[in-house]
Structure 1
Amino acid sequence: MKPQDLNNRAAGALMGAFIGDALGLGPHWYYNLADLRRDYGEWISDYTAPKPGRYHDGCKAGELSQAGYILKLVLQSLVTQGGYDEDDFCRRMDEDLFPRLDGTPVSGPGAYTSQSIREAWRRRVQGNLPWGQTAGHADTTEAIERTLAIAVRYALQPRRLATAVSSNAALTQCDDTVLSMTVAYGAVLALLVQGHVLDKHISAKLMRLVQSEDLPFHAVTRDDLQPPRPGDPDPPRAGRFASPDALLTPSYMAAAVEDPGIQIEPAWKVSLVYGMPCAIYHQLPAAYYLAARFAQDFESAVLHAVNGGGQNQARAILTGALVGAQVGLGGIPKRFLDGLEDSTALLRLAVELGGQVVQDDT
């Protein structure tokens, strides 16, 4: 693959995530869509500031939320260390984030701290526990929102990707299903950075990585999910995750896009089909659907993610990364880059990390 294309897709994934985060800052967590339309009109098309008394009150249009702030910490660590260094990441959390928190929801960068980070703060700061004993039971996407940078870094090294993503995610979330879905998202993103498309064939590519033991999921089926034959041995476990189902989800979402008998119109109503709440099992199907439907249309993908309401910020982060990887940095409208706070510094970090991915390919 051409180095410039690989770098372009890697940087596109990262900037797509930052843009999705900032787009969701203003209209975040409206579960009553009538209220969302009242406050922001029929269609949100750009960065907006939060309304007084709402989530992220006091932040400005184009700023990052705390999710974006933590993603930036991961990106800085990856760039300076040349790869994933858990000690360095944890040090940054201890020194750069935790001193700005107080354990309550309305605190810290972005004026809101998610459940999994609050729980980690309590264990680490109040409980004085070591990292590794800081995870809680949140069933949300916060781990994906930061480990997507790790997935980009190891886009050409699936084993290292799975090890690093699962290790980092386990610092704040301990549920094995959440961890498996987090690693699966990273594996999907890696294929898109390589140049694959999020279509109905992507899960077959992921399952081949399972069969080669490059991804740590257990599976007993043969190619194309065919049943095992009499006498076939139980395959050796490549890792901790008992089921490959998290790897199968994206192909089903892409197949729904391609099926003329299935219509979600307008596309923002994907939030109503798969659910508006924060849980990972609501967020991922919607993000996969939008990223498959608008594989070459970054603007439509992220704006439909935002206009669906509910936990639209996470939906836009996940969708933005997936589509940003498919269209590359050059496919992201300039106005989204121009309106993003600290865009120049973020772009420099994204391109530098993309350069590390290119080095893996040489």
Structure 2
Amino acid sequence: MSDANIQDRGAGAIMGAFIGDALGLGPHWYYDLAELRRDYGEWINGYTDPRPGRYHAGCKAGQLSQAGFILRLLVTSLVERGGYDEADFCRRMDEELLPLLDGTPISGPGGYTSQSIRELWRRRVEQKLPWGETGGHADTTEAIERTLALGVRYALDPARLAGAITGNAVLTQSDDTVVSMTVAYGAVLGQLVQGYPLDARLSGRLMRLVHGGALPFHAVTGDNLQPPRPGDPDPPRPGDPDPPRAGRFASPDALLTPSSMASAAVDPDIRIEPAWKVSIVYGMPCAIYHQLPAAYYLAARFHDDFESALLHAVNGGGQNQARAILTGALVGAQVGLSRIPQRFLDGLDDSATLCRLAADLAAGVGKP
């Protein structure tokens, strides 16, 4: 894969996430699909205003939510610092986000603050705890929604990708399983930026990275998940001498989910029709274990069709904004920025600046 293609894919992933965030702004968190259809019609086809009294009320079609605001902070930090600088990112959060919050849900940029960021605000602002003691127990995709930028930046360096994503994720997420699934998503995204397809073979590639020591997951199985042979050593564990920087997650299962979903998407005996009903099959709520299977499924099924992937993610209701962010990054990485329909760029608030940031970040892929 040429450098130009990698940069196009990297920029596509970032812009796909921003577009997914903005598409979900209006119809966010409708768990009653009949109510969603009453407010927005049978098919949401683009950016929409949030309704009065709903989440993000007062924002306008095409604007970013707070998730997009934070992703922009991290992308800007990565571009200006030439790579991941945790102290710089934390400073930006301290100076540019936390002063705008008050610890309540309906506040701050985008009109809504997630559970993770409310907990961060309480620990950092009210309790004045240092960064590193700020992670909460939310089981959401909140960390993925920003660390996907690290998945792009370090797409060619899986070990550094895992370390950077782990370090950033634990700033707001303390659950090891949630962090491991966050790292796994970033590893998948990195493979897509490189040009590998989201298919039944992708998880095998990721497992080879595990066995080679690049991805910090505990695994005793051999190639193709074959059982260990008598006498094979147990892989290193946290606390062993010289453990990997990112630790070693208890299970590699989060790396296996993408290929399972990709296989389901192409299996003629497994059909989810229409595809937006993936939200009903895997669950409409916010938890990471609902969101990731749906995003992987849509990104595999519509790997070459950015518009269909994003619109089915949004029309499924529930936590459709996170579903669209995750799906948008995965499909954007597969089609590249050059093949994202222009109408989604034209309708996105401050699109030119975001595109420039995305391109600048992607230009750093492969650099130290």
Amino acid aligned to 2:298: L
Match of 2:23 in 1: 23
Query: What's 2:88 paired with?
Result: 88
Match of 1:178 in 2: 178
Q: Is the 8 A contact 1:200 1:251 kept in 2?
A: yes
In structure 2, the gaps of 5 or more residues are: 238-243
Note the C-alpha offset of 1:231: 1.5
Matched residue, 1:327: 335
Alpha-carbon deviation of 1:358?
4.9
What SS does the aligned partner of 1:357 have? coil
Aligned to 1:229: 229
Cα distance in 1 for residues equivalent to 2:363 and 2:188: 20
Tell me if 1:157 matches 2:165. Answer: no
SS state at 2:317 partner: coil
Asked if the contact 1:27/1:40 (under 8 Å) is kept, the reply is: yes
Kept in 1, the 8 Å contact 2:69–2:109? The answer is yes
Moved more, 167-176 or 224-233: 224-233
- In 2, distance between residues paired with 1:171 and 1:40? 36
Structure 1 residues 51-76: Cα deviation after superposition (integer angstroms, max 9, x where no partner): 01000000000000000000000000
Task: State the SS of the aligned residue for 1:227.
Answer: coil
Question: What RMSD over aligned residues (CA atoms) do the two structures have, in Å?
Answer: 0.8
* Match of residue 291, structure 2, among 274, 280, 283: 283
- Which residue of 342, 345, 360 maps to 2:350? 342
Aligned residue number for residue 217 of structure 1: 217
Distance 1:359 1:328 in 2: 20
Shift of 1:229: 1.1
Query: What is the correspondence of 1:194-273 to structure 2 with a 5 Å cutoff?
Result: 194-237=194-237, 238=244, 239-273=247-281
**Correspondences of 1:86-165 after superposition (within 5 Å):** 86-165=86-165
Q: In structure 2, give the amino acid aligned to 1:202.
A: L
Give the TM-score taking structure 1 as reference length: 0.99
2:364 to 346, 356, 361: 356
Matched residues in 1 for 2:171 and 2:88: separation? 13
Whether contact under 8 Å (1:7, 1:358) holds in the other structure is no
1:2 deviates by 1.0
Separation in structure 1 between the aligned mates of residue 233 and residue 361 of structure 2, nearest angstrom: 41
- After TM superposition, give the deviation of residue 359 of structure 1 in Å: 4.0
**Which residue in the other structure is 1:274 paired with?**
282
Q: Distance in 1 between matches of 2:151 and 2:271?
A: 31
1:233, distance to aligned residue in structure 2 (A): 1.4
Name stretches of at least 5 consecutive residues in structure 1 with no aligned partner: none
**Structure 2 CA distance, aligned partners of 1:182 and 1:219?**
18
Distance 2:366 2:303 in 1: 23
Cross-structure match for 1:44: 44
Say how many residue pairs are matched: 360
